[in-house]
Structure 1
């Protein structure tokens, strides 16, 4: 499992995480939910080994995030990290040179499924196509842990649907862990097994998604509104 124990991270005067304690179970899809600025992106970067806590501990299967754990983590950041001078095929070759778990047969299947072409210039494709290209490069690896930071943000409904289908299509239940950070819950509610609600740098509610729905007699969308409107954790 992935654990955060009283993790604090500050950037200048901004406290991104404030003694956050939470558990991401392995082998499940976790919805990492909350408004912008709640600490979600900072947490994912820590799992990916890109940020370190100021205080507290982060563990992946009992180990600190490191070069050893990074090889098992595929990270899709919210920002557009693709090099615009590359084609999609060149970006894939670049990724393949870094990661031993690259699966070229999966890449070829996903290129077709997402209706992309390796010859497409990243500079010239639409925002929706770029979102699909980022997903293609992430899911062409056989990574044990997949981190998706706002994968549906700012794209059209048809592209969102294709991204969700890709997540479902690729997911290896029980073997792979997917953490989806988002403030747009409605589209992913049916996907997720576990849920963690973040607010102001803390995990304010976490648990099995179906248990929370049953206990509160609410959808996760309704529950999120309740949590953030009333602070009813």
Structure 2
């Protein structure tokens, strides 16, 4: 498999605070990666760096072999932990906005996902429940034909029914030629779809490991390992 993401010796500081320190890893195409860590470990900062929304203090990041910049934004789809849509929009307006903004937006796929997610195109974004909001944001992010999808807490704060629907959509609409990196604290619900996990602690990478290796060699679930590693956080 070819490498879709290469992170090398990344350091990121904000004034006197270090958010990331000497972080290096690679991700191959066709992988679903869980980016894990306690609050403040650097997960969102790392995602923003990969998405090209901020710049590292030192080190380099390449997506599809190209250094992160204007060109890589065309092949990276980022779903932040806050909605990018406006409350006044209807669901159909949000889809139109993405279609106009992103040349790689797959309108047919978006409509198929809207049906799958049981969203109503006439509903206003402001009227949607938290779970329906998450379904919409995921629909918009996955409807781009990207090489790398960055999903920051896609099931955070939603009820179990909504979580199940969102996970089903990830499995159903995931392009095996691309890769997904997602953050979550709800590992019991989501670890079944992970191929690998990356763990950050206090801005440092402490583990990148295949999920099956964790289960077979360590004799633990990802959730159990997470609780052990971050017990003091």
Q: Deviations over 1:177-219 (max 9, x none)?
A: 0111122211111101111011111110112111122111111
Partners of 1:11 and 1:183 lie apart in 2 by 25
Q: Does 1:50 align with 2:22?
A: no
In the alignment, which residue of structure 2 is the partner of 1:210? 212
The question of whether the paired residues in 1 share the 8 Å contact of 2:142 and 2:174 is answered with: no
Q: Which of these residues, 225, 228, 231, is aligned with residue 229 of structure 1?
A: 231
Partners of 2:188 and 2:195 lie apart in 1 by 14
- After TM superposition, give the deviation of residue 230 of structure 1 in Å: 7.3
In the alignment, which residue of structure 2 is the partner of 1:69? 72
Q: Deviations over 1:121-173 (max 9, x none)?
A: 11122111111111111112221211100111111111111100000001122
Partners of 1:36 and 1:26 lie apart in 2 by 28
Q: Does 1:121 align with 2:117?
A: no
Partners of 2:154 and 2:102 lie apart in 1 by 21
- After TM superposition, give the deviation of residue 83 of structure 1 in Å: 0.9
Q: Which of these residues, 130, 139, 144, is aligned with residue 141 of structure 1?
A: 144
The question of whether the paired residues in 1 share the 8 Å contact of 2:149 and 2:180 is answered with: yes
SS in 1 for 2:35: strand
The question of whether the paired residues in 2 share the 8 Å contact of 1:36 and 1:183 is answered with: no
TM-score, normalised by the number of residues in structure 1: 0.94
In the alignment, which residue of structure 2 is the partner of 1:158? 161
Q: Which of these residues, 4, 8, 11, is aligned with residue 8 of structure 1?
A: 11
TM-score, normalised by the number of residues in structure 2: 0.94
Q: CA RMSD in A?
A: 1.5
Q: Does 1:87 align with 2:57?
A: no
Partners of 2:63 and 2:193 lie apart in 1 by 23
Partners of 2:15 and 2:127 lie apart in 1 by 37
Alpha-carbon spacing, 1:229–1:125, altered in 2? closer, same or farther (3 Å) = closer
The question of whether the paired residues in 1 share the 8 Å contact of 2:91 and 2:125 is answered with: yes
In the alignment, which residue of structure 1 is the partner of 2:187? 185
Partners of 2:54 and 2:189 lie apart in 1 by 29
The question of whether the paired residues in 2 share the 8 Å contact of 1:33 and 1:185 is answered with: no
Unmatched 5+ residue regions in structure 2?
Answer: none
Q: How many correspondences in the alignment?
A: 230
- After TM superposition, give the deviation of residue 82 of structure 1 in Å: 1.5
Partners of 2:123 and 2:205 lie apart in 1 by 41
Q: Does 1:98 align with 2:101?
A: yes
Unmatched 5+ residue regions in structure 1?
Answer: none
The question of whether the paired residues in 2 share the 8 Å contact of 1:87 and 1:120 is answered with: yes
